Homo-oligomer: A and B are copies of this chain.
């Protein structure tokens, strides 16, 4: 059982054991190991040797308790399974781990009360910072949890009431969706469908972008907005409902990549040909989106960059207390074959050219 051939007897040894083995004081061990200068070469060597021999590694809990900093940050998102979120986490983690920070990951499943609870758990764990993508921007519980701390907070793609002390990393959804809308309008589409999620910043920006695109083109607003959750199921339901309506849109913008799968189910079931029978734009890339037949036009963004910037904001915090300007990150429209000119088919006569404005359907 106990073959101690190796001279290295690793195990649960504390700083005390190192001090004893090295024949020095506990404080000296601490000093040497935390890389502070002010120790003689001999002492340093003795300590280092002893530490190595014991396989000593400091207890981060004790360090954190004493130093009042844990070099860890918490991430609160809805669902790591969403490639967009995964990418954000990945971007943040790469920056943070390089700086010696660890990431505490939490999924809330998009449930506001869980958001709040997880934020509280992470704060109890004394994280040095929080990156949050809350499900809602006005959930009392979530806001209370965020208000209840001095810990630096970075929000991604959300804007919270001004009394919340936080920094923001925001995507310029307005631009990408605006470009997509103008592209569609230029292609002759006059009735655009927009599927969005809950009332958070990206949703508002996207709606505004399409509306402004209509206005800017001097075309009467004829926008069909469908609100729900950003799930494949909602994507399916929303598109089905839109296409079954009295005046189906000839082009649809999906405000979230998770919607695409559901939407494609409808497209395939109905045997629609994208870019011809229906033009489709998706917000945020989906792995095989560009290999779909036809490729799916997409409002792109560098999602890993969102996470990186958020992490950088957190890391810079101590030095830069004042800079509260939100960080804006670009989006851009990549037209692909899923978008085509509006079919000038006979059924067009069916359309009532009433002065419909913006109609909203709850999903």
| Interfacial residues, chain A to chain B (CB-CB below 8 A) | 10-12, 55, 57-62, 64-65, 70, 72, 75, 79-81, 83, 86-87, 89-90, 93-94, 97, 102-107, 118, 120-126, 148, 150, 260-261, 264-265, 268, 286-289, 291-293, 304
Contacts and interface: CB of A to CB of B under 8 A. Distances in A.
B61 A70 contact: yes
A79 to B, nearest CB: 7
**This protein's copies in its complex:** 2
A148 B55 contact: yes
A126 B60 contact: yes
A12 B61 CA distance: 18
B288 A150 contact: no
A257 to B, nearest CB: 9
Contacts of A55: 148
A112 to B, nearest CB: 16
Nearest to A109: B94
Nearest to A10: B148
A195 B39 CA distance: 56
B57 A123 contact: yes
A65 B81 CA distance: 33
A98 B97 CA distance: 26
Contacts of A12: 150
A23 B87 CA distance: 50
A79 B89 CA distance: 10
A239 B106 CA distance: 38
Given A102-B121, A288-B289, A291-B264, A81 B86 contact: yes
A106 B118 CA distance: 19
7 A-B pairs closest in CB distance: A293-B293, A288-B288, A105-B105, A60-B125, A86-B86, A61-B65, A264-B291
Contact of A80 (B61, B64, B80, B268): B80
Contacts of A79: 90
Given A83-B287, A293-B293, 20 more contacts: A11-B150, A58-B124, A59-B65, A59-B126, A60-B125, A61-B61, A61-B64, A61-B126, A72-B125, A75-B105, A81-B90, A102-B104, A102-B122, A103-B106, A104-B105, A261-B291, A265-B291, A286-B288, A292-B292, A292-B293
Contacts of A289: 288
A66 B223 CA distance: 60
Q: Which of A65, A150, A260, A289 has the most CB of B within 10 A?
A: A65
Contacts of A121: 102
27 contacts: A12-B150, A60-B126, A61-B61, A61-B64, A61-B126, A72-B125, A75-B105, A79-B90, A80-B86, A81-B90, A83-B83, A83-B86, A83-B287, A97-B106, A97-B107, A97-B118, A102-B121, A103-B104, A104-B105, A260-B288, A261-B287, A261-B288, A286-B288, A287-B287, A288-B291, A292-B292, A293-B293
